[in-house]
């Protein structure tokens, strides 16, 4: 099989499961648990929106850099190395 063992890279981020564990340990009612779940869903939506925005900004920056790099390459290709 030729390959080494795969290595997982990651880290645990405390999130809704931590809150749910606290709720279960504290004897929270079903209504309170539902409210906590809705809050967690709302927070996740906000984080996803922020991630989408950051991704869009990164995409735009990458496209801008690509265009600027292309223009610079064209300029340098036209420039003669022996012209001082």
Q: What tens digit of pLDDT does each residue of 15-28 get?
A: 666 666 666 667 78
By residue range, what is the domain housing residue 73? 30-78
Domain count along the chain: 1
List the end-to-end C-alpha distance of the chain, in Å, as a whole number: 59
> Considering the domain boundaries, does residue 21 fall inside one?
no
Residue 24 lies in a domain: no
pLDDT recorded at residue 84: 60
Kindly state whether residue 20 falls inside one of the protein's structural domains: no
Q: Say what the alpha-carbon torsion angle 43, 46, 52, 57 is, to the nearest 10 degrees.
A: -130
Question: Per the domain annotation, does 39 fall within a domain?
Answer: yes
Cα–Cα distance, 4 to 57 (Å, whole number): 37
Q: Identify whether 23 is part of a domain.
A: no
For position 14, what pLDDT does the model report? 61
Of residues 31, 40, 38, 32, the one with CA closest to residue 13 = 40
Average pLDDT over residues 23-45: 87
pLDDT exceeds 70 at position 63? yes
């Amino acid at each position: 099989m030729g390959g080494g063992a795969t290595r997982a890279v990651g880290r645990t981020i405390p999130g809704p499961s931590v809150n749910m564990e606290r709720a279960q340990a504290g004897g929270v009612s079903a209504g309170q648990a539902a409210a906590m779940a809705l809050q967690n869903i709302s927070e996740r939506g906000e984080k996803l929106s922020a991630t989408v925005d950051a991704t869009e900004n990164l995409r735009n920056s990458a496209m801008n850099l690509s265009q600027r790099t292309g223009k610079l390459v064209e300029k340098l290709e036209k420039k003669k190395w022996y012209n001082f």
